[in-house]
Amino acid sequence: MNAIEVKGLRKTYRGDEAVRGIDLVVRRGEVFALLGPNGAGKTTTVEILEGHRRRSGGEVRVLDADPATAGRAWRARIGVVLQDADDAAELTVAEMVRHVAGFYPDPRPVAEVIDLVGLTEKRGSRIRSLSGGQRRRVDVALGIVGRPELLFLDEPTTGFDPAARRQFWELIRALAGEGTTILLTTHYLEEAEALADRLAVLSGGLVVAEGTPATLGGRATAGAVVRWRADGVTRTEHVADPTELIRKLVAEDADLTTLTVTRPTLEDTYLDLIGAKR
Ligand SMILES: Nc1ncnc2c1ncn2[C@@H]1O[C@H](COP(=O)(O)OP(=O)(O)OP(=O)(O)O)[C@@H](O)[C@H]1O
């Protein structure tokens, strides 16, 4: 069964088309990442799926309802982490989480949520006194407190330090392990690679590629670059499959201590897909 089905989605802002007819399917239980440069239409798409923006055209089903008309019972089944969440700065972390928990029929215990996002030491601190990354963790806490079936995360780890980002990845994996469907947008390719079962690249309001992190944009069949040193000179060959070349080098008794085999990273593939100059 699918958690999200989108057909021909369009959004126009005062005559400018920000989303120009996209199709997407996110299956239940899947972690799906939306990538794309600034202005590609990611937030617009996600906020239409959350029911926070009106679409100009196309069909949208989210948990078997149209977000434009779905009611409170539907809203209680989804969790949202907005890009620019406006927290009540005077409340403490625990007060804020408890307040939002009150909107849901079966919330997670407040202390558990605060622990999951790594803010236990800050539970009594006012939100305005937190750092940017800590506030972002509060946003994530508010998104998961209602035990959502479907969680939307718009650039969830912006401002996180590397350790916090790894901790967040573990949280996402744990939620996915419980069966939560997750749609996230991110500018961090390694985040998409670490978390996503499937991903789509948006550019100029269109889906320009879709696949798994391993296969996106023909990555799996993109070939390899083999480098090694021979007679003091670095040699480089581009090959579809490095097996034959490496056999030959072994047979020739070449010095393989410097051998490297590299394939395009997800970031290389992504930059090619969006037509960025490298
Ligand atoms: N409320 C709005 N009114 C008018 N234009 C808007 C509005 N929101 C977004 N846009 C325009 O729609 C386009 C897509 O914006 P959107 O925020 O969806 O992109 P994005 O992919 O999320 O970008 P980013 O990576 O910077 O967050 C942009 O050209 C933007 O200027």
Residue 144 domain-assigned (yes or no): yes
Give the separation between CA 39 and CA 204, rounded to whole angstroms: 7
Q: Is residue 275 domain-resident?
A: no
Q: Under DSSP, is residue 171 helix (H, G, I), strand (E, B) or coil?
A: helix
Question: What is the total residue count of the chain?
Answer: 278
Which residues, listed in sequence order, are joined to residue 275 by a DSSP beta bridge? none
Considering the domain architecture, whether residues 32 and 126 belong to the same structural domain is answered as yes
Q: What is the mean pLDDT of residues 132-139?
A: 88
Spell out a b/e string for 166-199, using b for 16 or more CB atoms within 10 Å of the CB, else e. Answer: ebbbebbeebbeeebbbbbbbebbebbbbbbebb
Residue 61 structure tokens: 């089903």
Give a yes or no: residue 74 inside a domain. yes
**Residue ID of nearest Cα to ligand 1 atom 18:** 41
Q: Which atom of ligand 1 is nearest to the CA of 14?
A: 4
Mean pLDDT of 135-160: 92
Ligand 1: lining residues by beta carbon, under 6 Å: 13, 18, 36, 38-44
137-142: average pLDDT: 92
64-109, pLDDT tens digit by residue?
999 999 999 999 999 998 776 666 778 999 999 999 999 999 999 9
Are both 194 and 210 inside the same structural domain?
A: yes
CATH of the domain at 41: 3.40.50.300
Distance between Cα 141 and ligand 1 center (Å): 25
First vs last Cα of the chain: how many Å apart?
A: 40
Q: What is the mean pLDDT of residues 240-253?
A: 90
Same-domain check for residues 212 and 251: no
Number of domains in the chain: 2
Q: Tell me: the pLDDT tens digits for 3-23?
A: 999 999 999 999 999 999 999
Regarding whether 130 and 108 lie in a shared domain, the answer is yes
Residues 31 and 135 in one domain: yes
Task: Kindly state whether residue 274 falls inside one of the protein's structural domains.
Answer: no
Residue 272 lies in a domain: no
Residues 39 and 140 both lie in one domain? yes
The residue whose CA is least distant from atom 11 of ligand 1 is 18
Whole-number pLDDT of residue 223: 84
Distance of CA 163 to the CA centre of its chain: 18
The answer as to whether 69 is a domain residue is yes
Are 181 and 256 contained in the same domain?
A: no
Mean of all residue pLDDT scores within the chain: 92
Q: Indicate if 30 and 151 belong to the same structural domain.
A: yes
Average pLDDT over residues 163-177: 91
Which of 43, 84, 188 to mutate to test ligand 1, by most ligand atoms within 8 A of the CB atom? 43
Q: Which amino acid is at 159?
A: G
Instruction: Kindly state whether residue 25 falls inside one of the protein's structural domains.
Output: yes
In the predicted structure, residue 143 carries a pLDDT above the cut 60: yes
CA dist 5 and 2 (Å) reads: 7
pTM higher than 0.90 for the full model?
Answer: no
**Same domain? 91 vs 229:** no
Q: How far, in Å, is the centroid of ligand 1 from the Cα of 39?
A: 5
Do 118 and 149 lie in a common domain?
A: yes
Q: Of 130, 136, 95, whose CA–CA distance to 117 is shortest?
A: 136
Q: Are residues 174 and 210 in the same domain?
A: yes
Helical segments of the chain, H only: 42-49, 72-75, 93-101, 110-116, 132-144, 162-177, 189-195, 243-251, 266-273
Domain span holding position 84: 2-216
Closest CA to 181 of 203, 198, 167, 165: 198
Q: Which atom of ligand 1 is nearest to the CA of 205?
A: 14
In a domain, 267, yes or no: no
Both 209 and 76 in one domain: the answer is yes
DSSP 109: P
The pLDDT score that the predictor gives to residue 147 is 95
Torsion, CA 242, CA 248, CA 249, CA 251, rounded to 10: 140
**CA 34 to CA 156: how far, in whole Å?**
12
Distance CA(274)–CA(268), nearest Å, equals 10
Among residues 119, 129, 130, 131, the alpha carbon closest in space to that of 94 is found at: 119
Q: Is the pLDDT of residue 277 over 70?
A: no
Determine contact, residues 205/19, Cβ cutoff 8 Å: yes
Please determine, for the modelled complex, whether the ipTM score is greater than 0.95.
yes
To test the pocket of ligand 1, the residue of 14, 22, 42 to mutate (highest count of ligand atoms within 8 Å of its CB) is 42
